[in-house]
Structure 1
Amino acid sequence: MSSIYFVTFCTWERLELTFAARQVVMAACQYFHGRQYTIFAGVIMPNHVHLLIQPWLKGTGKFWTIGNLLHSIKGFSARQGSLVMPHIGKLWQDVRHERLILSDRHFHSTVTYIEQNPVAAHLVKPSEVYPYAWSNLFD
């Protein structure tokens, strides 16, 4: 079994994603879920994305790398996103932040952080559902 990672990646120069573009990014995550990885929780924020992700085995007996996985998500969403959010230049920063999940407690606190991120950013009230966040959405 592969490791689980908390991954964050940001838009280029903190470009704000439109609602339609956030839906495209979510669709990219859904598309590759169950093919290259499992996403336990995720949120598409206006200018960044958080994922709790576990890479799967490739046919070669090696696991997908986080770089490979984000290349798939970023590439798909950049191509499709340009249809709903025209702009000049790049959509995503090249860098990412990733942390290895070391325990069940760390896992659960990360899920809570992801779920609460839209509330902390004042995108929704605590009683509201943010449409671009999920946990175990695809299972």
Structure 2
Amino acid sequence: MVTYRQADALPKEVMERLRRECDEQGENAEVRLRKGVEEWLDAGHGSCVLNRPECASLVVDAWKHFDGERYRLHAWMVMPNHVHLIVQMLGGYALSDAVESWKRYTATRINRLLGRKGAFWLEDYWDRYVWDETHYQNVVAYVHAESGEGWIGAEGGGLGLSSAAAWELRSAERGRERGTPMPLWSEALKLNSLLATQGPWGHEC
């Protein structure tokens, strides 16, 4: 799972304060720091321009561009000031190169769209390896869970800024099928073809 955020979403002084507070508490400082960062971002700090459908769609379109060629895009969520995605790299392509490409392209396009200049994304990103089927199911649920928050993307209609709608559709199809359902890890490979036929808001276009 990969997470990256807008440059103004988490000021340096806030990050330093969160890290200092977590370090002072001793054990599991990194876990507490990650939780503190997530809570700060989810509170909607910064310009939150990704809440605008025209900006969020540029981010999703960039992810979909090489889906199935350089990587498999399994699930995603565009929050107002940060993004989450689950991606599986293919053919020796590096995750760092993909993230850099996504960020460079979308920063240029969004800045041009908004008539602004300067850094759009924070330079770094956070990634977490998915270990097995259970972990995979948990991270997909985490990514999609945030799409239910009422303040996210009012113009996008709640689920509109994530791949959750496509997952729900596929889950409904699985419920009508007989026999043992396929594991979600395998199911995600089928999902790619479904996502390819949908627009950035999870509706057929």
Partner of 1:103: 132
Aligned mates of 1:10, 1:84 — CA distance in 2: 18
Partner of 1:16: 48
Structure 1 stretches of 4+ moved >3 Å? none
Deviation by residue 1:19-67 (Cα, 9 ceiling, x = unmatched): 211111111111121221111000111111101000111xxxxx21111
Q: Answer 1 or 2: which has greater helix percent.
A: 2
Coordinate RMSD, CA, aligned? 2.0
Q: Structure 1 residues 87 and 117 mapped into 2: Cα distance closer, same or farther (>3 Å)? A: same
Aligned mates of 1:28, 1:22 — CA distance in 2: 10
Whether the 8 Å CA contact 1:12–1:90 is kept in 2: the answer is yes
Deviation by residue 1:70-91 (Cα, 9 ceiling, x = unmatched): 0111112112212322323111
Looking at both structures, which has the greater relative contact order when contacts are Cα pairs under 8 Å and sequence separation is at least 6? Answer: 1
Q: Answer 1 or 2: which has greater strand percent.
A: 1
Q: Percent identity?
A: 20
Partner of 1:26: 60
Aligned mates of 1:28, 1:121 — CA distance in 2: 26
What TM-score do the two structures reach when normalised by structure 1?
0.81
What TM-score do the two structures reach when normalised by structure 2?
0.57
Structure 2: runs of 5 or more not aligned: 10-46, 168-190, 198-205
Compare CA radii of gyration and give the structure with the larger one: 2
Structure 1: runs of 5 or more not aligned: 1-5, 58-62
The equivalences for 1:47-86 within 5 A come to 47-57=81-91, 63-86=92-115
